[in-house]
Every structure is written in C-alpha cells, then in structure tokens.
Amino acid sequence: MGDDDLARGDALCAAAAKKLRSVGFFSAITGANRHEEAAELYERAATSFKLAKSWRRAADAYEALATCRATTKETHDAASAHVDCAQMLKKCGANEEAIGHYREASNAYARLGRLAQAAKHLKEIGETYESLGTAEGDERAVEAFSSAADLYDGEGDSGRTTGNNCKLKAATLLASKLDRFEEATEIFEDVGRASLNNNLLRFSVKGYFLQAGICRLCWNDAVGVLNACERYEESDPAFASSRERDLLVNCAKAFEAGDQDAFSSAVAEFDSMSRLDGWKTTMLLKAKKRIVAAVEAEEDDLT
C-alpha cells in the first residue's frame, strides 16, 4: 500500500505542476482556475503521502498547496495548509522549518481577525522552540508564549484561561532555564491576582503564589520573601493557613539562618504531603544553592 500511495502522490504532484505551467488565451481567467485545480491535486497528493507515512513529501505538497491558496487570495485555506505543513515537518524532525509555517499561519489568521487561532499557532511556535532544548530556543519560546498570551487576552473572558497558561509557560521557562527570576515572579503573581475573582481559577491561586515565592527564594532576601507571603495572605486569606505558605516561610527562615538542613527538612515535609513536581524541585535546588554559596562565602571571610 505504501509504494502505491507514494506513486499516486508523485503523479498528483506532477499533474499539479503541469497544470500550473499551462497557459491559455484568457490568462486572467485560466490563471485562477489553474491554481485552484492545482491546489486540489496537491491536497490529494498530501493525503497519499500521509497514507504512505512520507512526512517530508506530505509537507512539500502542503507547502505547494499553501502557495496556490495564497495566489487565489484564499487566506484561510492557505493558513490551514501552512499548519498541515508544519505538522508534517515536526513528524520528520524539521522543527525549525515547522516554526516558519506556524508563523505564516498565525500571521494570516491575525490579518483575518481570528485572534484565537493566531494565538494558538504562536503557542505551537513556543512549544516547538522549547522542544529544541537550547538557550536560544528557550528565549524564543518565551517570546512566542508571551505574544500568544497577549492575543488571547484580546479575546476577553473566552481566551483568559488559555492566555494564563501561556503566561505560566513563559514564567516557568524564564525561571528554570534562563534564570530570569524577577520576571518570572512578576508573571506568577500577576496570574495569581488575576485569578482571585474567577471561580474556576481561584483554587489554583495558592499554587501560583507558591511558584512566585519559590522564584523569590532564588533572587530575593529572606525578608523580601516573608514580606511577599504577607501580601499573598492579604490577597488570598486562604493562603495564610496553607502548606504552600508554610513551605515558603520555613525556607525563608532557613535561608536567613544559613541552615541547609532546615531548608531540606521544610521541602521534605511539604513533599510528603503534596508531591513536588519537577519544576518546583529544580527551582528549590537553585534556591538551596544560594544558602550553600552564602555559607561558603562566610567561611572564606573567617579564614
């Protein structure tokens, strides 16, 4: 079946290319018709290549389809073809090429006023950059997630939850990958405060404040962290009696005392009741290193 599908796809692409090369006496009419007919052939070719699991050829067919649709001013269909092309490119590991097609789709949907769809593909750009596993990729991912969040915010209540998710993705990368703790803190706190009056999001507020507080442990002094906890309690009275608040306060006091063991005990106690995820564990280790560095610096001063 695979070889037959490949052959069928190649034949359809050849027919589409031939269609585009043909010229009639009434070029103003036949030009549009040629591109429309070629687009249909490229779309069928892409399906055949997908059936054969030939992702690169499917991507090439979708790229040609996008060009045909753009030529006939079918912006929505062109954008859709760019998305299909990007998905095929990701399947064959060509992530950076895929990003270009997601961007074409996002820009096209933005021009059409389809902000949620434009934002969706910016989010996919962010996820694709993140998957590269490079510092530059993480930087670009933060930019894409932030841009997506801005567009989702423009959709009002309907886009707020997804927009918040994009902001949170940006914040987690800023803190864990780029060590831009202050920027991450601000985002987590903003999302937390914005969620207080939303019945669906309110239950997550203490988690956002915990993430903000953990970021603060990585750049702020102990007094700054304790002051932040007081502000979190003022914003959300339920935070005052939460395990999240106790963890931050105990870690801050351990930091102030330069006590690594107390810091580790506070983390272990919290983890025994509410399992820490990988991001929080990574960030708390970053914070603990500050205690180690401070103790070593003090010992050097004494020698």
Q: Is pLDDT above 50 for 124?
A: yes
* DSSP code string of 120-185: HHHHHHHHHHHHT-SHHHHHHHHHHHHHHHHHHHTTTHHHHHHHHHHHHHHHHHHHHTT--HHHHH
| pLDDT for res 1 | 52
User: Which CA distances in Å does 19 have to 22, 30, 32?
Assistant: 5, 10, 11
Tell me which residue of 61, 58, 73 sits closest to 108, measured CA to CA.
Answer: 73
Measured distance CA(158)–CA(163) in Å, rounded: 9
Q: Which two tokens stand for residue 131?
A: 């998957």
| pLDDT for res 28 | 47
pTM of the model: 0.91
H or E element in which residue 64 lies:
helix 55-71
- Specify whether the CB–CB gap between 83 and 105 falls below 8 A: yes
Q: Is pLDDT above 50 for 146?
A: yes
What is the residue whose two structure tokens read 């530059």?
136
Residues 6+ apart with CB under 8 A from 88: 46, 50, 55, 56, 58, 59, 62
Q: Is pLDDT above 70 for 154?
A: yes
| pLDDT for res 155 | 82
What is the residue whose two structure tokens read 């593909």?
121
Per residue in 213-270, pLDDT tens?
999 999 999 999 999 999 999 999 999 999 999 999 999 999 999 999 999 999 999 9
Residues 6+ apart with CB under 8 A from 96: 132
Percent of the chain whose pLDDT exceeds 90: 86
**Residue 29 — pLDDT band, cuts 50, 70, 90?**
very low
Boundaries of every domain in the chain:
182-303
Q: Is pLDDT above 90 for 101?
A: yes
Mean pLDDT of 144-153: 96
- Specify whether the CB–CB gap between 93 and 61 falls below 8 A: no
Residues 6+ apart with CB under 8 A from 114: 76
| pLDDT for res 300 | 57
Of 13-27, 104-118, 219-233, give the lowest mean pLDDT range: 13-27
CATH class of 182-303: mainly alpha
Mean pLDDT of the chain: 93
| CA torsion angle 7 12 14 15 (round to 10) | 140
Mean pLDDT of 170-179: 98
